[in-house]
Amino acid sequence: MSRSVKKIRVGILISGRGSNMTALIEACARPEYPASVALVISNKPDAAGLEVARQAGCPTLAIDHRPFGKDRAAHEHVIDAALREAGVQVVCLAGYMRLLTPFLTQAWSGRMLNIHPSLLPDFPGLHTHERAIEAGKRQHGCTIHLVTEEMDEGPVLAQASVNVLPGDTPDDLAARVLKEEHRLYPEALDTFIRTHFPES
């Protein structure tokens, strides 16, 4: 018999197609999984992932960054207020492509996870697959880490590796890594919650 779990409320931030978000939503739908999706926020109103989340029955919000111009922290204050209003306890960045200010990273310190498509500390930033191929790496992969003030630098929670094969294009490699991302993120969030919220 499966034990009943008290689900931790997770907020997911996206900017695009949201395939990692989908992997998290699917995991959260399992009765024994210790999290539920309380809110999905996109900084891009036309992000494909928003519609996917709506179809899955998740509350969604588009909080467009453009009206805030260069004031990133003002945009983040609105995001933070929405997360708190929704009772979010843990935030998962899932392809959220905005640099964060210290306001949001401090507000969610120790409670905000990110997925990055490289074996950090290798290749922080963009174009990770192309850079791994150019560097002649034989292994590449993805990382789940806690978010700190420095981009792609927080403590690593989990990593998954794939082989870089001769003749791989960046798209080939991205597809191989993405498959691992979809497995790793739900697994790492599960472990994170069971460790940090033992009552769940």
Catalytic positions, written as ranges: 116
Q: Is 146 in the site for ligand GAR (CB under 6 A)?
A: no
| Alpha carbons 197 and 195: distance in angstroms, whole number | 6
Cβ of 26: how many Cβ atoms within 10 Å?
A: 13
CB of 114 to ligand GAR, least distance (A): 7
* Interface region with ligand GAR, contact rule CB under 6 A, candidates 80-88, 98-106, 114-122, 158-166: 114-122
Tell me the two tokens of residue 120: 């950090």
51 phi and psi angles, rounded to 5 deg: -70, -40
Q: 134: part of which helix (H) or strand (E)?
A: helix 128-134
HSE (side-chain half, CA atoms, 13 Å) at 42: 22
State which of residues 11, 18, 34, 154 lies at the interface with ligand GAR (CB under 6 A): 18
Q: Is 115 in the site for ligand GAR (CB under 6 A)?
A: yes
Q: Is 154 in the site for ligand GAR (CB under 6 A)?
A: no
Q: Is 186 in the site for ligand GAR (CB under 6 A)?
A: no
Interface residues toward ligand GAR, by CB under 6 A: 14, 16-20, 49, 94-95, 115-117, 142, 178, 181
